[in-house]
């Protein structure tokens, strides 16, 4: 699975980081980014939860 954050949609709410800090982080500007696009198997469920929790629908995972 790969995770990505759409920079133009992200508003820096940080829900993804709160749910899965192993995959997501906030940049110095306060916006989310995927630390590593390839998601380790043990974090797949958490990434899916982060996708569902993003109020801006800025996260994709496939």
pLDDT tens-digit map of 27-57: 999 999 999 879 999 999 999 999 999 999 9
Domains for the chain: give ranges and CATH numbers. Answer: 3-61 (3.30.70.20)
What the block records as the tokens of 27 is 């940049």
* pLDDT at res. 34: 96
What confidence score (pLDDT) does residue 31 get? 97
Read off the pLDDT of each residue in 14-28 and give the average, rounded to a whole number: 97
Tokens 């500007």 found at: 29
* Span 6-24, average pLDDT: 97
Nearest CA to 50 among 5, 20, 30? 20
Percent of the chain past pLDDT 90, that is, above it, reads 95
């Amino acid at each position: 699975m790969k995770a990505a954050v759409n920079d133009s949609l992200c508003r820096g709410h940080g829900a993804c980081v709160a749910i899965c800090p192993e995959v997501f982080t906030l940049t110095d500007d306060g916006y989310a980014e995927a630390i590593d696009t390839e998601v380790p198997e043990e974090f797949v469920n958490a990434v899916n939860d982060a996708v569902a929790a993003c109020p801006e629908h800025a996260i994709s995972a496939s």
